[in-house]
Amino acid sequence: MRRWRTVIGLEVHAQVLSARKAFCFCPTTPSEANSNTCAICLGEAGSLPVLNLDAVRVALRAAAALRCSSISETLEFDRKSYSYPDLPKGYQITQRRKGLGAGGCVEFEAEGVLRRVGLEGAHFEEDSAKTTYRGDAIDVDYNRCGRALVEIVTLPELESGSEAAACAREIQRVLRRAGASEARFEEGSMRVDVNVSVRDDDHLRPKVEVKNLNSLRAVRAACDYEARRQAEIYDAGGVVAQETRSWDGGETVRSRAKGGAEVYRYAPEPDLPPRPLESLVGRSVADHVDALRREIEPHIPAAVRARLRKRLDPLAAAGLVDADDYGRTARVAFFDACVAHGAKPKPTAAWILGDVAGALRKLEFDTIADSNLSPVDLAELLALLDQGTVSRRAAKDLLPDLLQRRTSSSVEDLVFERGLARISDVAALRQFAREALDAHPNELAAYHAGKKNLEKLFIGKALAASGGRADPVLMRDVVRDCLLQAS
Amino acid sequence: MACRRISESVVRGATTAESVVGQALARLEGDRFGAVVSVDRDGAMERAREVDLEVRRGRLRGPLVGVPVVIKDNICTRWWRTTAGSRALADFVPSYDAAVVERLAAAGAVVCAKTNCDEFAMGSRGTTSAFGPTQNPRAAGRSPGGSSSGSAAAVAGGLAPVALGSDTGGSIRLPAAWTGTVGFKPSYGAVSRRGLVAYCSSTDVIGPIGASVEDVAAVFDALAGPDAGDETVATARAAGEELPRTAAVLLDGDLPGVVVDAVRTVASCFPKRRDASLPSLAAACAAYHVCAASEAFSNLARHVVRAMPRSRASWAEGTPDCFGPECARRLELGARLLGERHADALYFRALDVRREVARSLRDIFAHADILVCPVAPHLPPRFDDHLPPADRGGGGDAASRRGDFLDAVAPDLPADYRDDDFTAFASLAGLPAITLPVAGSSSAGLPVGVQLVARRFEDRTLLAAARLVSRLLRDDDDDDDHEEPNASIYY
Ligand SMILES: [Zn+2]
């Protein structure tokens, strides 16, 4: 049995954030099937495409965010011909000879390992219509047809399904952070095709394309399945057909719809003459891309993670960066602001990822930025905690108030108003300890009979009686003292 | 002139658009030439009455007010069937008007009928339409030329004063030459193609056919100008209407004597003349056909998608047979050029020839203001006459490369591709070109046309030159008093 290594490349299709379609004036807002259509996107005879410049500008943000090494000076389009009901013109307007940008890379972590995968590039194209099948009938919804897409093609450098999924997830994050796409699988605004092949020591075998994967889970599973399928065929002495397959949730199957390998008969698009990009962005392409990079780079996950790793462990850094996609790295911004207000990085990250995240979830806030908690609040709270003014428990109890609060009083004032300050007065602590002992006479008897480890129980009960406000170290001493006295 | 007379009478109140259009409709309904595919009587009468209303409000001016126009049936008309001469579009009713239809309406012209044409404008003889062939009103039993056969025949046969055609490789100029009319192919990018059923998008141009230079100029003025809906239309309008002084004369190959004489006669109207040659003439024509078939392949794909039932079974079976034989042959050629024969790079070699042609033309126009040449290498042929393929031409490296290219593609080209020998080069280079009839020059009484070509976007210079030539050839300086047979029938 030979050792087969998996080789995977991704083609990510993401709908560009734009109010209009790519080559006509139809809106992109969700609406009733076949209501966002016109002569152009329905491919009516005689209709001509009119390039949506805004969509191109937004797609350029993606190219910049993906660190494409060269951004094209001119926009050129090509026709990709294939015949299917989802493509009313019989061809798709795409960029074959020259995309928006060539090169680039994505950095991500897969199973704890930092990976960097190169990109072939990113290009602009139009989406096809959405087809669904009712028995033999093909239903077509043209609302999606002609929407602007950016297609990102990676080099075949991924080595497993989970790596492929992690890479797709990272591209999704980058697109969202760059403000280029919603990139939601569940809404079809992001779809992934994978090219899977296997190699042994001798050489790389021909690749098989698995199209239209609509979740990260599908990306992972389809890649792994397909690699295994190919290896088994080769091991059995067979030949893997170069074909297009699709994923049915359990296995890859030969695409019935579009058949095997296709000849796309690419040709230049004569209806859209080459257009200098400069005329579209109002300055030199190099200046524009520099400015875009300066604007976007601070939000790009890989860059932020690298920055945070200087002060946090990798897990916390990834936690802050990776969790939310849309709030323009709301957590990172919050973290940075807390630290700027004097909070210590590590406990700040721990609180944001732990208790704050939990409280946000409980109160149904989408992101930290949606709540009323300010970075100053958290910095103050952590300072009070550090000084021992409040206990961990009290600090946690205060969070819901802070997330929802309407007043601007300082956290310290709130702590005292709400009587949450830590209790270190020995007389008061003795009171709680007595209560705990009195409430558990059987356990007390058992303690005196020799079950000394019941001490922990009395300490816990006493702390609870204080509402978590008692200083735990002092309380331990006080409880011990009381137990001695009670004997 | 027919246009101006009609317009002046309508604006003056001597007649009404309704009356002029009514008469035109009657003529169009009596079409004996296979020129007309459909007449929109109710719509045209309604539009005519609107024109009259606007005229009474004093809102319409210009030379096209109340003028009946017929348009080639590959130009989209809202709520009015547009077939492009094909079975594939036999039931196609566009949801919008072509840009040129909007512009004609704005100028007060009234579109009355859609004219027959070779299927999807693929043909030079007026024979490939699904609605039957078009006859030549000026030469019985002979081809009227194509693909704008119906538009030329309608004007030549007196059914309409002016018509719109489309010209991809000669489809306005050739039928104009063979029917003795004036046919103008504007510069590529001067007139919007929005709403023109596409054949070869990089050379397709809409233009007028009429009985006089004045008429086609009036229609061109109405059509030309930027359109946000067509990115290939130039935004700046080229200035200048200077009369050209130096004519380059292009006579090449084996031409009928009357054609040579006609070209010399037209050239003699210019103060200075020089001989010109376009070494890549035959290769240009072949390259044009390669480009056209390649672009047609994707342009016509939508008609197949439209014709297919939305069922998995039928898509699994394959695409329907919805095109006529000539059209199917050219699409199959396009598929091969972009597919299996892509490796031979014929398509890209054609693009090289295209650039070479543009360079040669720049050289010619460096020393001349206007190019005078035949429209076609022969007079209107009988329907079954065909020209032999071109020979390879002379020596030299470039010539040999062109010869190789010709040899490689010749077997794939349409039977009558040499009809486009003298028209294809201007299409490839996007230059404006006009066909002028030279009256009475054929001994057999067959129409003879001569072609004038100018620099790109010097459309108005070209029209001024054509006006000058037609005035000189009429031996009559006062064109206002000149009576043309077509002009008088409308009022
Ligand atoms: Zn649309």
- Locate the domains of chain A by residue range: 5-280, 300-417, 426-485
Alpha-carbon distance A257 to nearest alpha carbon in chain B (angstroms)? 8
Q: Are A354 and A399 in contact (CB under 8 A)?
A: no
- Percent of chain A exceeding pLDDT 90 equals 62
- Mean pLDDT over all residues of chain B? 91
* pLDDT computed for residue A238 by the predictor: 92
A446 within 8 A of A454, measured Cβ to Cβ = yes
B-facing residues of A in 235-264 (CB < 8 A) are 256-257, 263
Check whether B253 has a pLDDT greater than 60.
yes
Q: Which residue in the set B92, B231, B313 is minimally distant from A136, CB to CB? A: B313
Q: What is the mean pLDDT of residues A15-43?
A: 97
Query: With an 8 Å Cβ cutoff, is A47 touching chain B?
Result: yes
What is the ipTM for the molecules in this complex?
Answer: 0.94
> Residue A384 corresponds to which tokens in the numbers above?
């009070």
Closest CB to B202: pick one of A49, A133, A270: A270
Interchain CB contact of A56 with B (< 8 Å): no
Identity at A3, one-letter amino acid code = R
Q: According to the 3-state scheme, what is the secondary structure of chain A?
A: CCCCEEEEEEEEEEECCCCECCCCCCECCCCCCCCCCCCCCCCCCCCCCCCCHHHHHHHHHHHHHCCCCEECCEECCEEEECCCCCCCCCEEEECCCCCCEECCEEEEEECCEEEEEEEEEEEEEECCCEEEEECCEEEEECCCCCCEEEEEEECCCECCHHHHHHHHHHHHHHHHHCCCCCCCHHHCCEEEEEEEEEECCCCECCCEEEEEECCHHHHHHHHHHHHHHHHHHHHCCCCCCCCEEEECCCCEEECCCCCCCCCCCCEECCCCCCEECHHHHCCCHHHHHHHHHHHHHHHCHHHHHHHHCCCCCHHHHHHHHHCCCCCCCHHHHHHHHHHHCCCCHHHHHHHHHHHHHHHHHHCCCCCHHHCCCCHHHHHHHHHHHHHCCECHHHHHHHHHHHHHCCCCCCHHHHHHHCCCECECCHHHHHHHHHHHHHHCHHHHHHHHCCCHHHHHHHHHHHHHHCCCCECHHHHHHHHHHHHHHHC
pLDDT at position B395 is 53
Distance A276 CA to ligand 1 centre (A): 25
In the prediction, which pLDDT does A205 show?
87
pLDDT of residue A103: 96
Question: Which of B384, B418, B196 lies closest to B289, judged by CA?
Answer: B418
For the cut 50, the answer to whether the pLDDT of residue A463 exceeds it is yes
DSSP secondary structure code for residue B68 in this structure: E
Nearest to A46 among B76, B306, B319 (CB): B76
- Whether the CB of B85 is below 8 Å from some CB of chain A: the reply is no
Nearest Cα of chain B lies from the Cα of A301 at a distance, in angstroms, of 39
Active-site residue flag, B147: yes
Q: Which residue in the list B7, B9, B124, B147 is annotated as catalytic?
A: B147
**CB distance A16 to A58 below 8 Å:** yes
Question: pLDDT tens for residues A322-334?
Answer: 765 555 568 888 9
Residue type, B482: H
Lowest mean per-residue pLDDT among A125-134, A227-236, B330-339: B330-339
Q: How far apart are the CA of A143 and the centre of ligand 1, in A?
A: 8
B277 in reach of chain A (CB within 8 A): no
* Angstrom distances, CA of residue A92 to CA of A78, A282, B224, B299: 8, 28, 30, 11
Question: Would you state the pLDDT for residue B320?
Answer: 76
Say whether A85 and B75 touch across the interface (CB within 8 A): no
pLDDT band at B344 (very low <50, low <70, confident <90, very high): low
pLDDT digit string, tens, across residues A217-252: 999 999 999 999 999 999 999 999 888 899 998 999
User: How high is the pLDDT of residue A167?
Assistant: 96
Phi, psi (deg, nearest 5) at residue A280: -90, -30
With an 8 Å Cβ cutoff, is A34 touching chain B? no
**Among candidates B92, B294, B304 on the partner chain, residue whose Cβ is nearest the Cβ of A267:** B294
Evaluate whether B228 touches B235 at the Cβ level (below 8 Å): no
Q: Where does the pLDDT of residue A299 fall: very low under 50, low under 70, confident under 90, or very high at 90 and above?
A: confident
Residue B484 has pLDDT above 60, yes or no: no
Please give the Cα distance from B71 to B162 (Å, whole number).
9
Report the DSSP beta bridge partners of residue A452. Answer: none
Cα A101 from Cα A103, distance rounded (Å)? 7
Interface contact A220, partner B, CB < 8 A: no
Chain A residue with Cα closest to B88: A45
**Shortest CA gap B298–chain A (Å):** 7
Cis-peptide, bond into residue B488, ω within 30° of zero = no
Q: Does B197 touch chain A (CB under 8 A)?
A: yes
Residues β-bridged to residue A374: none
State the pLDDT at residue B396. 63
CB contacts, 8 Å: B310 with chain A? 85, 137-140
CA distance B82 to chain A (A): 9
Bridge partners, A114 (sequence order): A109
How many A-B residue pairs are in contact by the CB < 8 A criterion? 120
**CA-based nearest residue in chain B for residue A139:** B310
Out of A90-99, B163-172, B235-244, B333-342, least confident range: B235-244
**Predicted pLDDT of residue A367:** 82
- Sort out which chain B residues have CB atoms less than 8 A from A49's CB and list them: 231
Fold for the domain defined by A426-485? Arc Repressor Mutant, subunit A (1.10.10)
* pLDDT classification of B237: cutoffs 50, 70, 90: low
Question: Could you tell me which residue, A260 or A160, shows the higher pLDDT?
Answer: A160
| Residues B146 and B155 sit within 8 Å (Cβ to Cβ) | no
Answer yes or no: is pLDDT of A448 > 60.
yes
Nearest CA in chain B to A259: B316
Q: What is the pLDDT of residue A328?
A: 53
Report the pLDDT value the prediction gives residue B476, as an integer from 0 to 100. 47
pLDDT band for B183, please (50, 70, 90 cuts): very high
In this predicted structure, what is the pLDDT of residue B488? 38
DSSP code of residue B134: P
Specify which of A409-413, B169-173, B345-349 reaches the highest per-range mean pLDDT: B169-173
pLDDT cut 70: percent of chain A above it: 97
Q: Least CB-CB distance to A48: which of B229, B301, B305? A: B229
Tell me whether strands B246-250 and B370-374 are parallel, antiparallel or unpaired.
Answer: parallel
Tell me whether A286 touches chain B (CB under 8 Å): no
What pLDDT was estimated at residue A415? Answer: 82
Per-residue pLDDT, B490: 41
CA distance A35 to chain B (A): 15
A46 Cβ under 8 Å from any chain B Cβ: yes
**Section A6-14 average pLDDT:** 97
Q: A46 and B75 in contact by Cβ < 8 A?
A: yes
Superfamily per CATH, domain B2-184: Amidase signature (AS) domain (3.90.1300.10)
Structure tokens at A319: 């936690």
Q: Express each pLDDT in B282-307 by its tens digit.
A: 899 999 999 999 999 999 999 999 99
How does pLDDT run across A62-109, given as a tens digit for each residue? 999 999 989 999 999 999 998 889 999 999 999 999 999 999 999 988
Query: Mean of the pLDDT values across residues A131-152?
Result: 95
Highest mean pLDDT among A152-156, A451-455, B399-403: A152-156
pLDDT of amino acid A487: 65
Partner-chain contact B94 A46, CB within 8 Å? yes
pTM comes to 0.88
User: A114 CB near a chain B CB, below 8 Å?
Assistant: no
CA of A39 to the centre of ligand 1 (A): 6
Q: Is the per-residue pLDDT at A261 higher than 60?
A: no
- Count of residues making up chain A: 487
Q: Specify the higher pLDDT residue, A318 or B156.
A: B156
A265 contacts B298? CB cut-off 8 A = yes
Say how far apart CA A245 and CA A36 lie, in whole Å. Answer: 30
Catalytic-role residue among B7, B9, B72, B294:
B72
* Residue B171 is among the residues annotated as catalytic for this protein: yes
CB spacing of A90 vs B197 below 8 angstroms:
no
pLDDT of residue A256: 57
Q: Is the pLDDT of residue B478 over 60?
A: no
In the predicted model, is pLDDT for residue B109 greater than 60?
Answer: yes
The better pLDDT of the pair B410, B267 is held by B267
pLDDT of B391: 61
Interface membership of B335 toward A (CB under 8 Å)? yes
Q: Inspect the interface and report whether the beta carbons of B94 and A137 lie closer than 8 Å.
A: no
Predicted local distance difference test score (pLDDT) of residue A260: 47
pLDDT of residue B444: 76
pLDDT at B364: 96
Parallel, antiparallel or unpaired: strands B110-115 and B162-167? unpaired
B92 touches chain A (CB under 8 A): yes
- Range in A68-72, A76-80, A416-420, B67-71 with the lowest mean pLDDT: A416-420
Whether B315 and A139 lie within 8 Å, measured CB to CB: no
CB contact residues (below 8 A), chain B span 216-245, against chain A: 228-232
Contact yes or no for B234/B457 (Cβ under 8 A): yes
Rounded Cα distance, B63 and B183, in Å: 18
B80 touches chain A (CB under 8 A): no
Mean pLDDT of A126-140: 94
> Which of A39, A49, A81 lies nearest to residue B96, judging by beta carbons?
A39
- A81 and B96 within 8 Å at the Cβ level: the answer is no
CB atoms < 10 A from the CB of B422, how many? 31
CA of residue A263 to ligand 1 center, whole Å = 27
